[in-house]
Amino acid sequence: MHILSAAQTHELDQATIEEQGIPSVELMERAAGAFAEWFARHFTPHAAGETLVLCGPGNNGGDGLAVARLLYQAGYAMRVALLPADKQSADWQHNRRRLPKAVPVAEISAESLPHIMPGAVVIDALFGTGLTRPLAGLPATVVAHLNTAAARVVAVDIPSGLFADAPQPADSIIVRAQHTVSFGLPKLAFLLPQNAAFVGQWHLKEIGLSPHFLANAATDWHYTDAATVAGALPPRPKFSHKGTFGHALLLAGSRGKMGAAVLSAGACLRGGVGLLTAHIPGCGYDIFQISQPEAMCLTDTQADFISELPELKPYQAVGIGPGLGQEAASLEVLRQLLKAADKPLEKTGQPLPLVIDADALNLLGSHRELLKLLPENTVLTPHPKEFERLTEPARDDYHRLELLRDFAIQYRCLVVLKGAYTCLATPTGELHFNSTGNAGMATGGSGDVLTGLLLALRAHAQIPAFEAVRLGVYAHGRAGDLGAAQTGQVGLVAGDIVRHIGPALSEV
């Protein structure tokens, strides 16, 4: 699914209107209808009580007026407050005329701000994607008034005052909604942690926007959902054997962190790899062999950390990092691996696929001269702190995305910036936000599981690098969601994610 800029969203509306030969108020009616339907499923007229709709002068306000009419007709007690303006949009005026006389309407002024009881339900239809500058003056006063009222706020399309696709001053006045009901496509702003307090939970409603425009819009921003990854995992052929699905090597673990190696290996096996060999420090031998009997095991001559790189010939992909530690000898192993992996493999003509995580990323961060050794399409899986060690502290979430994109382009890598809506950056400068996963996954070991799963998918000869990573990130989140459905988010542990990789992959 695409993510569009505010300007493209406007073009999408226009394209839909032209293609379907409908007046623009018809599209507004669809949007308002979809919003009202969502609203009615979440609040009964009794639970909502008297509902206030705050309307601005543009089409977002027009949506609000149409919503007020539809909810009034559905039996809700409605009240409307209008922001004064020199001029209102044509569709606003149309819906103002259609508002039933029985709905009380007041004009807002600095002296008469709408009365809002704590707990009241307020529909925010002040501004949408047409916002051109941060709020100031009366609109800012109204929003600040709303935010202090402790109301239950549902935003139409986007919380008023929030830019859909661009950074804004940190002290911007923005509606703090509990829910945002938006149309067609998610907005970039919804996916960034810094906006979570404004957007609340967001919901997408289908309003029949132009499929042709949606398929052809030029954008670097994408959203990975079930439809995106459908069919990405080739079915296992009847006559396949363990050699068909690749042999992966995992370099992981150190004293006290063998669990990371075990979890990562478990995920790799559940990810469908043909064969897995783990190279681990001597101290981990019994732990590893007992907990992962399906994997083979090579032990390092060092008891507590990894100091040797095994012969790489047998392997189709290598993962390094979970629980590795940052010993000088392990740094040398990483350096040797990067150098050895860069030569094209006979079979594929591509460098040996690598997945680099955790302490291996930290080693890269503290020895940045190694970055230029990264083979093309290497997969890096930093969380924001690890990413900062590779680059620089970000000013805000938008700046972090810029750094991420630049990094992926510069080093020709696939970079997975982990978190809610994990963002995969490609060497061509695309950003793919993931839709699956939950806060239960914010628990030690979840990232190790991702590394193992990505390793399995990179060892699979039939899946191209980018598709493998996008699928792995999606399936990892989905496995977390399936796990949490059984354990609850609080009770979820990384091992539960491993156990649900199979079901998650069979869904796609």
Ligand X SMILES: Nc1ncnc2c1ncn2[C@@H]1O[C@H](COP(=O)(O)OP(=O)(O)O)[C@@H](O)[C@H]1O
Residues of the binding site: 59-63, 124, 128-134, 157, 160, 260, 323, 383, 418-422, 447-448
184 binds, among ligand X, ligand NAX, K ion, none (CB under 5 to 8 A by kind): none
The yes or no reply on residue 31 touching ligand NAX (CB under 6 A) is yes
- The token pair that represents 214 in the structure block: 């949606």
Judging by beta carbons within 10 Å of its beta carbon (0-12, 13-18, 19+), is residue 223 exposed, middle or buried?
A: buried
Of 51, 60, 362, 451, the residue at the interface with ligand NAX (CB under 6 A) is: 60
Which contiguous run of DSSP H or E holds residue 453? Answer: helix 446-459
Indicate the residue whose CB is closest to K ion: 160
Enumerate the H helices of 43-103 as residue ranges: 45-48, 59-73, 90-98
The yes or no reply on residue 186 touching ligand NAX (CB under 6 A) is no
The yes or no reply on residue 300 touching K ion (CB under 5 A) is no
312 binds, among ligand X, ligand NAX, K ion, none (CB under 5 to 8 A by kind): none
Of 204 and 501, which has the nearer Cβ to ligand NAX?
Answer: 204
58 binds, among K ion, ligand NAX, ligand X, none (CB under 5 to 8 A by kind): ligand NAX
Of 129 and 277, which has the nearer Cβ to K ion?
Answer: 129
Of 42 and 335, which has the nearer Cβ to K ion?
Answer: 42
For CA atoms 236, 241, 244, 249, give the dihedral sign: positive
For the bound state, the minimum distance from the C-beta of residue 204 to K ion, rounded and expressed in Å, comes to 15
C-alpha closest to that of 410 among 383, 436, 380, 440 = 380
What is the rounded CA–CA span in Å between residue 142 and residue 122?
12
The yes or no reply on residue 210 touching ligand NAX (CB under 6 A) is no
132 binds, among ligand NAX, K ion, ligand X, none (CB under 5 to 8 A by kind): ligand NAX
The yes or no reply on residue 180 touching ligand NAX (CB under 6 A) is no
253 binds, among ligand X, K ion, ligand NAX, none (CB under 5 to 8 A by kind): none
What is the rounded CA–CA span in Å between residue 400 and residue 421?
14
C-alpha closest to that of 397 among 179, 198, 217, 146 = 198
What is the rounded CA–CA span in Å between residue 190 and residue 423?
13
Of 3, 34, 48, 135, the residue at the interface with ligand NAX (CB under 6 A) is: 135
Of 59 and 436, which has the nearer Cβ to K ion?
Answer: 59
Mode of pairing for the β-strands spanning 121-125 and 179-183 = unpaired
Of 207 and 363, which has the nearer Cβ to ligand X?
Answer: 363
Mode of pairing for the β-strands spanning 354-356 and 379-380 = parallel
For the bound state, the minimum distance from the C-beta of residue 360 to ligand NAX, rounded and expressed in Å, comes to 44
Of 2, 57, 263, 494, the residue at the interface with ligand NAX (CB under 6 A) is: 57
What is the rounded CA–CA span in Å between residue 42 and residue 48?
9
What is the rounded CA–CA span in Å between residue 217 and residue 2?
8
- The token pair that represents 248 in the structure block: 């992966």
Of 15 and 501, which has the nearer Cβ to ligand NAX?
Answer: 15
Mode of pairing for the β-strands spanning 78-82 and 51-55 = parallel
What is the rounded CA–CA span in Å between residue 14 and residue 158?
19
Q: Which residues are annotated as a binding site for AMP?
A: 418-422, 447
What is the rounded CA–CA span in Å between residue 365 and residue 390?
4
- In sequence order, the β-bridge partners of residue 170 are none
Single-letter amino acid, residue 93: Q
What is the rounded CA–CA span in Å between residue 71 and residue 51?
9
Residues that bind ligand X (CB under 6 A): 358, 383, 418-420, 422, 437-439, 441-442, 444-448, 450, 476
383 binds, among ligand NAX, ligand X, K ion, none (CB under 5 to 8 A by kind): ligand X
Of 44 and 201, which has the nearer Cβ to ligand NAX?
Answer: 201
Residue 75 dihedral angles phi and psi, to the nearest 5°: 100, 10
The yes or no reply on residue 155 touching K ion (CB under 5 A) is yes
The yes or no reply on residue 195 touching K ion (CB under 5 A) is no
Of 132 and 301, which has the nearer Cβ to ligand NAX?
Answer: 132
By the 8 A CB rule, do 501 and 475 touch? yes
Q: What radius of gyration do the chain's Cα atoms show? A: 26
Of the candidate spans 25-33, 67-75, 229-237, 310-318, the one that interacts with ligand NAX by CB under 6 A turns out to be 25-33
Size of the site for ligand NAX (CB under 6 A): 25
450 binds, among ligand NAX, K ion, ligand X, none (CB under 5 to 8 A by kind): ligand X
Q: Which residues are annotated as a binding site for K(+)?
A: 60, 124, 160
Of 420 and 508, which has the nearer Cβ to ligand X?
Answer: 420
Indicate the residue whose CB is closest to ligand X: 447
The yes or no reply on residue 423 touching ligand NAX (CB under 6 A) is no
What is the rounded CA–CA span in Å between residue 111 and residue 391?
50
Of 1, 11, 22, 24, the residue at the interface with ligand NAX (CB under 6 A) is: 24
For the bound state, the minimum distance from the C-beta of residue 128 to ligand NAX, rounded and expressed in Å, comes to 2
Q: How far is CA 260 from CA 110, 445, 448, in A?
A: 59, 6, 6
- The token pair that represents 371 in the structure block: 């970055």
What is the rounded CA–CA span in Å between residue 484 and residue 313?
39
Of 73-102, which residues contact ligand NAX (CB under 6 A)?
Answer: 89
The yes or no reply on residue 133 touching ligand NAX (CB under 6 A) is yes
- The token pair that represents 164 in the structure block: 């859909």
Q: Which residues here bind K ion, judged by CB under 5 A?
A: 60, 124, 155-156, 160
Q: Which residues here bind ligand NAX, judged by CB under 6 A?
A: 13, 24, 27-28, 31, 56-61, 63, 89, 127-133, 135, 139, 156-157, 183
